[in-house]
Structure formats: structure tokens, C-alpha cells
Structure 1
């Protein structure tokens, strides 16, 4: 047999590298916002992400979760079984502090360092980030009920992962999920029909039984779930464990796993409560106020997750085109491709910048101004970054070409994953309405947001002009809701620009202002103006593999 051809002009895979040390942009923003002290931890974390955990991510997305309702003798077990790679991903993240660092090490920059871990974990597998995020975000909501928190928080914050299906009190460490939406309501959780009835006494910390359903319960293998249900005084929040305190199975039955377009390694389910027991968290009738503390952090992690998708997509595209020749030159040196790559890198860095700006605000949330910024700006970032990731990941996949569309290449997964964060934890319209609600009810929060944007004034005439136009547009309250997406986009772009201007590299800020604030009428990637230093932007984003 004769060999038909030689394989050449094919790039090497971006693997077996340190995902943190190779990322100049991530390091810049971690250091800029006070996380330099975590460099050694992040370097170790990034080493494992760039080596064995990359393969674990591929395996976890190939060998999908399987639902086992009963054991072989007919007992109801409601078990979800995963490939060992999934457990490897979960164990690494939890033992390194992905879910716990800001709570166990409450020092300046802790949210920034933890944010970088979440960012890097997404490079290996976004799906397993779902239970990690919910576990991390559950702390403030559970903390409103001190007696329940005393029992549960030590296990939630523990650096131990136990993926077995056994009672929470027999584990060293546990994970927490969330179940809010129902078929008839979706984002309108006040339409929920699940009923909570007290077993004995009523109120916070007391035991109730729940009867009803949840249309979406992600990560149903978690040890307990924050759940909304109707009590006598209205919608209330409950912590519902998979197992009762007597060791019996809590009747929270999984109906089926969702067959999703993406987010494949993460099991999402429909469930029914048939008298499942759970403890009320906080005051009866104040369930939304309680659980929103968890939702605020999961929305922030949606920002981080989508920023990470874009960062990885841009790096994969730049890496691939940097080793592939076309018409006698490396592809990433061809002027038109260079424009596309620089545009992708610019978008990814702007997303990363405001995501870590929120991490910095979380580290300083004791101040009223930073707390107000979190309430308004998280909705802006969640709306804008998560929507931008969809087109962005596609464009990166196109840069790589046909091989980028097959599942052996990570960009196919990034593209499938991209819509998830835009839809979950409140879709785009919900984010717009939440921002309007904050601005209408909390004028001080609006002032803080404007002050954040005004940090960028005085550097670029174009920025100052756009800021003035946005303020004028917001003054027309008659069409505020109808035009909410227009306002959201304007504010998001100005916030990204202001963050890059004040906290970023000058040439990145200048390129962003020229590319995103000029009224040029172009919306596709690869349309940067000719006076932008595209080569410098691409060089900054090229993975520094040693």
C-alpha cells in the first residue's frame, strides 16, 4: 500500500500548557484588581486545566449523564450517573476553593482570585461549572437562617467532594443546586404553584413539606436545593435535601433529564415534590428576597462564564491561525484575518474587564457604592456579555474552518455552550427589566452607575459624546421600557470603554472606543478601523505557551 499524502500545514493542538500563565490578559486583570497574591494558586490551577483536565472535559461531554430512577431491586434512588471525568473536574475545582475561597479567605482580592478559577475551569468544561456556581452562590441565601447555616455551611465550604448518592450528613462536603421555575411561569416565579405546608411550627428554620413540580432543576445530583414554594404568607424559600434526616429518601423525584442543545456534561432535569421536606430560609413570604442573593451571584458567574468562552474561543482562533499558512504567509498575518482576530480579542478582553470589575466590587461590597454597582451593573454585564458570546464563538469557529465545527475541536463545544448563559438565570428581557427596576426604585444606584461611566470622561471625545447621548436618551421616560435593550447596549459599551480607559492598557481602550462607539454602521467582527493596531492586540492575546 502506498501513502496517499503527507499531513502538513496543520496546527498543533492548544494543550499541555499552563492555562493561567499562558493568558496575559487574564493575568493583567487579576493583578489590576488585587488578586496578585493568588498567583501561585492560579498557576497550579491553570497547569491542571491545561493538561489532564482538558481531556476530562472532552470525556465528560462525550459520555453524558444517565438517569437511574431505581436500583436493580426496584427501590427509588433518583440517581444521576456520570463519567469519572466529570467527578475529576468537580473534585479538582472544589478542593482548590472554586466554591469557597471568598468565604474561607475573606481578604482583598479573594473574589478576583476565585473568579479567575471559575474562568479557567470553563476552559476545561463549562457544564460542571453549573453546580460549582450554585454551591458558591448559595452561601448568602443560606446564611439568612443562622440555625440552618450552622449545620450546612461547614459542609458547603469544605474542600471535599463526594459525588455519591447518600445522605448529606454522611458526607464531609456537599454541593447545592437550585429549583425555581415551573412550566406555567418560567421567569415569572410569582406564578409558581408548588405548595409548602408546615410540619409543625411555622417560620424560618422550620420544616415544611412541599408538593408540586419544577420545570428546570439543574445538577439534580446536588445534596440540597434552594426552592421557591407558596406558603401561607406567599412565596417562600426552602432548603430541600435529597435525603431526610432519618436517612430515608426525600420524595423529590426526577422525572427526566433534559435533552439540551449544549451544556451537555451538566444534567438538567424536571422534578416533582411528593411531600418532600425542606427548611424555610428567612421570613415566610420573602422567598424572592432570600433567593435573589443566590441569583445575583449566579448571574455574575454567567458573566464570567461567557467571558471565558470568548477568551478561549479567541485564543483557539489565534493559536490555530498562527500555525497555518495560506498564500505564503501565516494565516494570522493576513490583513483581513488579522482584523477578525483582533476584533475577537478586543471583545473578549472588554468582557473580561467588566467581569473582574464586578469581582473587585464584590471584594469591596461593604461600601454602599460598590454594593449599588453590583445591583445594577451585574444585570448589564449578564445581558451584554452572554449575548455577545454567541456570535463571537461562531466567528472564532469560522476562523479555524471546517475542523472547528467537529466535536474533536473545542470550538464546537464553545458554540453549543454559548446560548446557555444568556437564557439561564434570567433571559435578556428580564435583565433589562431588573435594571429598570433598580434605577426606578433606587436613584442612588443610578447615580453610582453614572459615576462608574464618568470615570472614562476626558480621554476620548467620542466617549464623552456617547455618554452625553446616552444620558439624554434615558431622560425620555415615556419609552423607557420599549427601548430598554437599546439603553442596555449603550450603557454596556460605555461601561466596557470606561473600564478599559481607566483600568486597562491605553492601546486596547483606544481601539475599543474607535471600534465600538463610532457610528460606523458595522456589526460583524473583522471591521476594525485601519488605524487600530490589530497586530499588537493579537500578540497580546496569543497564548504564551512555554
Structure 2
């Protein structure tokens, strides 16, 4: 029979099968080793179970569905009542149920034990490879807990709802729900990252028993980015007095009498990515709130929350890298061009090997940070990892994810550029972690601030790195160059803040690879990212030296 007869113009061949039914956890040797090394080996069974479950075709489809059917806002009921209700596709709620079931919202706080933070971060790396938008309210809920714990009376009313493993999508006062989520409301039109310029005002309710910490207030103003407006409460920054500075407030979705709080959603943001998650503009019309922390200390109060969200931004970007990498490798192993499989072609192997190096370095970095976030010894080195390396990691890993996902998408060619596959969604998702909660410049300036305010901790960290670098000339040289930059004048340091953050992270990643990865991985990373003259300012992926064993690097990253 002629296959090219009428109505049958071609046979479908050389198309790549869906990457499914593999284990996200056990197929990632760097993550498996990090979980054991950093103290969360007790959680391996759960990670292996989730790693297998998350790649079932019906689960993979949830991410696409939740992003194609975006949230819808109804400001009024059919009778004209103000309701500000949000409707999500069922896939969104299924994703949230999975995330809460895995404990991403509270695991280290609800079940504190050695390795709990590492266990939670490892689970985050797995789930973030499937869909990113649903992680936003989980991250904010998680980050709010250490802030709310400082308010014993308030936290007592919230604790069980915050720790609950069930997802409760009902739009009710949190006292009537089995679980709750917390969002953030900080950014205003005129200020952006400069939250000290916020204009939203908070007025004490004088018949409520006093003002100040724990007092009741009425908020009037706006927020330009109000993350996840469907959350049961938000932590909001507002000004009580022009001379006092901004304070932090717990603003529930419903008031204590059961009525809808006067937080009016003006519109949902039409975002580039993160489309499954609702972000909004709101106005406060005498909205009810309770002061959290001391008056005028809203920024320091919220900084602790921000440190956790920065960690999650780096985790989310590392997960996007991993997801894009395995998709690129899978594609190259199943797609032929010019007579050979893509994965057999030297230049393509170079690209994939280069991406594999970047991904493994990011994974080791974020998992090391996870351990620092649960360290209770108070050592200077651990404090430096948390206070100094976290903003640098948030800057660098999130920045690298943009180029990384673009390169991985290019491996797929035209098929990567269309929405039927995952690569376009990964690419659109990548910028949000770099922008949200402090853009690149804000993070790098915070690195300088940490260096200036905690020189002893920085010195302890760099001394520890020196002990590893002394056996690697290129790495030792990079450390010397960083120290030289740090001795320049303040103006030069500020102008060089991005380079300082970049050098700090690349050296830190190289140290971790020397300590914990095969020598072929560490040596390749140092030669192409750290050594003097390696061209980091202008290099693109796929420019590894031809003498490296590219095939071995790819096989280590994702075994055939």
C-alpha cells in the first residue's frame, strides 16, 4: 500500500517520546549523596516514593493544566456583593495537596529533628521540577512561621492550621478550616524593593486594648504586588507614624467577626510566567490587621522571612535547571539529525556536559545552604553560609537559570519553543526567582552589607575555603583575586558588587565539588568557571575544552 496516498501524507518518525515514569530522586546522584551527607538520610524512603510518583503522566500533566487554565477573579457576586473570589483549575488544588502532603510548608518547624531542613529542601527540589507556581504560597507560608512564632498568642491560634498536611481550598475564616496559607504584601507602586518608602498607613483601633505589638489596626493604602491573594492571611508592611518607620501586620482574609476583610483585589497580574499562581494589586479600605513585632521594626521583622524565601528562590531555580537538563539529555538521546543521534555528536555532548556541570554545582550549593539554615551551633562559618552566601546564591543561581533554560530549550529546537512541551514553560518561569523578593542588584548589595557587618563570619568562611583551595592552584588563585577585590574602596566595591557575588558563589561551588563530587566534575568546573582567564563574563554553554570526557559528565548527570 502506498503510504503517501490521498489523506496520508507522511509517517511520524524521529519524534521524542514523553519523558515519564522515572525517579526524580534516585536518578540524581548529586542530590542523593547530598541528602545523606547533610543529615537527611532518614527521609530517603519518602523522597524515593515521591520521586517515582511525580513523573507519572497524569501528575506531569498537572503543571501544564494549571498554567493553561489560569486563575480567574470575581470581584462581585451576582447580587452585587463584594466577594473578591478566585477560581483555580482543579490541577492547582491537586498540586497544593501534594505539596502540603510532602511537608514543604512546615516540615522543619512541625517536626524538628536533625536534617529536617535538608529533607524539606530535597523534597522542594523534586516538586519544583513539576510545577513552580504552586510553590509560591508554600514558600511564603513556610517563611512566615519563624516570624509568627515570635507572637505566642497569635501563633497559638494559627499553629495547627499552619502545620496541617491537608490542603483546604475553602474560602472561609481560618478558624473554620483544617489548614491555612500565608502570603506577603510589601511592594508598592512608588517603591518596589525600597519598602522603606511605603505609604500604606495603619491606624490603631483605640478601643481594642492598646496599640503597638499585638495591637489591632486599620490599614489604608495599596500594594502593587500582593502575592497569592487567596491566602488566608498576609504579612503586610504599613506605616503607623511618619517618623517611626514601617511596621509589620498580620492581615487575615476575614475579620474576627467572620466578615470579609476590606482587602479589595483590583486586578490579577498578567505575568510572563508563574501563571498558575495568582498575583494581584490590592487596596486596603480600613482593613483589619494585628501588629507583628515592634512598632517601626517592620523591615527587620520581615527580613527573617525574606531569608527563607531567598533560599527557596535558589532551590526553585536549581530545580528548573535540573528539570530542563534531564529533558535536554532525554531529547538528545532519542532524536537523530544528520545521520546520528544528537547525544552522539561531539558539539551537542559539549553543551549537555556543560549544562550538567552547572546543574550539579547548583544542587550542591542549595543543599549545603539547607544545612546552614538548620544549624543550631551558631558557628561563624555556618552563620556566613546563611547570611552571606544565601543572597549571593539567590542572585547567581537564579540568574544562571535564565540562560540555562534557554540553552536547554534550544536543544529541543523548534519543538522546545511551542507550548505543547515543558521547555517553553520552564523558560518563562525562570525570571521570576531572579526578580521576586529582591532583584540582582539588591541581592549583591546585601552581600556587601553582610561582608561589612559580619567580617568575622566572612573570614571564617573564607579560611575554611582556603584549606580546600590550597591543593588546587586555580581555585586558590580565584580566592586571592576575590580577597583583593574586597580590599578596594567602598565605591569600587559597590560598582563591583555583582562580580563579588559571582566570584563568591563560583568559589563556593568549586569548593563543594572538590569535597563531594568526582574529580572529573570538580576539575572541569574549576577550569571553565573559576580559573583566571576562563572567560566567565562572555562564555556560553558548550564551550568546554574538547579534552574533557563530555560523555561521562552527561552519563553521571542522568544515566541512560
Between stretches 442-451 and 214-223, larger displacement belongs to: 442-451
Correspondence 1:84 to 2:90: yes
Shift of 1:26: 2.1
Aligned counterpart for 1:264 among listed residues 275, 279, 283: 275
- In the alignment, structure 2 segments of 5+ residues that lack a partner are 1-5
**Match of residue 392 from structure 1:** 404
Aligned counterpart for 2:502 among listed residues 483, 489, 496: 489
User: What SS does the corresponding residue of 1:97 show, helix, strand or coil?
Assistant: coil
Q: Deviations over 1:174-210 (max 9, x none)?
A: 0010010100111110000011111130121121111
Aligned counterpart for 2:534 among listed residues 520, 526, 532: 520
Shift of 1:503: 2.5
Between stretches 156-165 and 216-225, larger displacement belongs to: 156-165
Aligned counterpart for 2:301 among listed residues 262, 271, 290: 290
Correspondence 1:18 to 2:23: yes
Shift of 1:377: 0.6
**Match of residue 222 from structure 1:** 231
User: What SS does the corresponding residue of 1:278 show, helix, strand or coil?
Assistant: strand
Aligned counterpart for 1:208 among listed residues 217, 234, 256: 217
CA contact (8 A) 1:452 1:495 kept: no
Shift of 1:502: 1.5
Shift of 1:104: 1.8
**Match of residue 277 from structure 1:** 288
**Match of residue 322 from structure 2:** 311
CA contact (8 A) 1:376 1:449 kept: no
- For residues 510 and 409 of structure 1, what CA distance do their matches in structure 2 show? 34
Between stretches 1-10 and 229-238, larger displacement belongs to: 1-10
- For residues 210 and 112 of structure 1, what CA distance do their matches in structure 2 show? 38
**Match of residue 411 from structure 1:** 423
User: What SS does the corresponding residue of 1:216 show, helix, strand or coil?
Assistant: strand
Shift of 1:108: 1.5
Runs (4 or more) in structure 1 with deviation over 6 Å come to none
Between stretches 502-511 and 34-43, larger displacement belongs to: 502-511
- For residues 274 and 263 of structure 1, what CA distance do their matches in structure 2 show? 28
CA contact (8 A) 2:527 2:534 kept: no
CA contact (8 A) 1:19 1:120 kept: yes
Shift of 1:431: 0.5
User: What SS does the corresponding residue of 2:54 show, helix, strand or coil?
Assistant: helix
CA contact (8 A) 2:67 2:275 kept: yes
Q: Deviations over 1:206-262 (max 9, x none)?
A: 211111100001111000001111123321111100001110010011100000111
Q: Give TM-score, length-normalised by structure 1.
A: 0.97
**Match of residue 350 from structure 1:** 361
- For residues 455 and 142 of structure 1, what CA distance do their matches in structure 2 show? 40
Correspondence 1:529 to 2:545: yes
CA contact (8 A) 1:141 1:290 kept: yes
Between stretches 515-524 and 389-398, larger displacement belongs to: 515-524
- For residues 456 and 530 of structure 1, what CA distance do their matches in structure 2 show? 27
Shift of 1:455: 4.6
Q: Deviations over 1:421-471 (max 9, x none)?
A: 000010000001111111112222321331353253123111011111111
- For residues 126 and 413 of structure 2, what CA distance do their matches in structure 1 show? 25
Correspondence 1:5 to 2:16: no
**Match of residue 558 from structure 2:** 542
**Match of residue 173 from structure 1:** 179
**Match of residue 508 from structure 1:** 521
- For residues 79 and 54 of structure 1, what CA distance do their matches in structure 2 show? 28
Aligned counterpart for 1:378 among listed residues 386, 390, 393: 390
CA contact (8 A) 2:475 2:530 kept: yes
Correspondence 1:322 to 2:333: yes
Aligned residue pairs total 544
- For residues 258 and 449 of structure 1, what CA distance do their matches in structure 2 show? 41
User: What SS does the corresponding residue of 1:421 show, helix, strand or coil?
Assistant: helix
Q: Deviations over 1:92-135 (max 9, x none)?
A: 11022111111122112111111111111111110111001101
Alignment of 1:86-101 (within 5 A): 86-101=92-107
- In the alignment, structure 1 segments of 5+ residues that lack a partner are none
